[in-house]
Structure 1
Amino acid sequence: MAQRSVMDLLRERAEDKLNDATLQLGKVRQTYEKARAELTQLQCYQQEYQQELVARKQGKGLAVTHLLSYQFFINSLNQVVEQCSVRVASCEDSVTQALSDWKNDSRRLNAFTTLKCRADDIAKLNESRQEQKLMDEFASQIFLRKKSA
């Protein structure tokens, strides 16, 4: 019985750990999706400003100060896009790691669940054998009493 209690405890801890891993996976996926959306938005801004700069150059033209201002802003935006790309890659790595942890915890829980089921089956089989043994002994005693009477 003590062995089954230990197995139950191990299984419960594995289940708790899997629940924690599931929550962590959800958080890092949410962070990744947010970072990915920010990157997409920044890339759209980047493209819009570059197109606007080209259109203005081809149109009436731009004063040097406006041209320098646009170029400075676009360069700054390029740096932000690069930083955001690095952040997205980092978030993607975090998702990969959290998913790996979740899979490992899931396998561990499944292993403990299987072991617990096997232990329960063995306990039921032993109990059934014990009951059969008692029934056989009881039947044998009744048979001996009838035979001697």
Structure 2
Amino acid sequence: MAKPSPLDTLADLAQNDTDAAARELGRLQGLRTQAEQQLNQLTQYRHEYRARMQAVAAEGMTSSRWQDFSRFLDSLDQAIRQQTAALAKAEADLLAGRNRWQHQKRRLNSFDTLIARAEAREEQVAARREQRANDEYAARLARTAATRLG
């Protein structure tokens, strides 16, 4: 078995880095999806709570009850703002993770290209060596035949 070349070692390391970046990208995608779902849930809950508040207000409510509803809506709005910021951060992290993965993938592809070129050069050298050996063998046969005839 042939000894692995330094390029093979570097390609293996690049493959490990690419795999790690892909796993991290998957994790970041999951976090982004989770943040989006939480924001959607908060927004939906706020919408439902506001509708309930309007229904109760239509029947009449005390000012203290109105303040309670308003305070809770304010706290929901604050939670929605925080979750919107969390979603924006998750999207930025996902974009950075995607860029890291793409960089690692390009690096791996570069090593693969270099390895393919090195293998092609080795095959050319081997083919020339074989051709030279065949040419020398044919020349020897010709010389041997000429000396027998001559």
TM-score of the pair, normalised by structure 1: 0.93
Alpha-carbon distance in structure 2 between the residues aligned to 1:127 and 1:35: 58
TM-score of the pair, normalised by structure 2: 0.93
The answer for the alignment partner of 1:44 in structure 2 is 44
Alpha-carbon distance in structure 1 between the residues aligned to 2:10 and 2:128: 28
RMSD value, Cα: 1.4
Alpha-carbon distance in structure 2 between the residues aligned to 1:112 and 1:78: 51
Alpha-carbon distance in structure 2 between the residues aligned to 1:53 and 1:62: 10
Alpha-carbon distance in structure 1 between the residues aligned to 2:70 and 2:122: 77
Shift of 1:52: 1.4
Shift of 1:42: 0.2
Stretch deviating more after TM superposition (105-114 or 123-132): 105-114
* 1:91-116 deviation per Cα after TM superposition (whole angstroms, max 9, x unaligned): 00011111111111111111111111
Stretch deviating more after TM superposition (39-48 or 60-69): 60-69
The answer for the alignment partner of 1:75 in structure 2 is 74
Shift of 1:6: 0.9
Shift of 1:53: 1.3
Alpha-carbon distance in structure 2 between the residues aligned to 1:22 and 1:146: 66
SS of residue matched to 1:62: coil
Shift of 1:71: 1.0
After superposition, residues 1-149 of structure 1 pair within 5 angstroms as 5-58=5-58, 60-149=59-148
Shift of 1:30: 0.3
Stretch deviating more after TM superposition (47-56 or 16-25): 47-56
Unaligned runs of 5+ in 1: none
Aligned residues: 147
Q: Could you list the runs of 4 or more consecutive aligned residues of structure 1 that deviate by over 4 angstroms after TM superposition?
A: none
Between the two proteins, what is the percent identity of the paired residues?
27
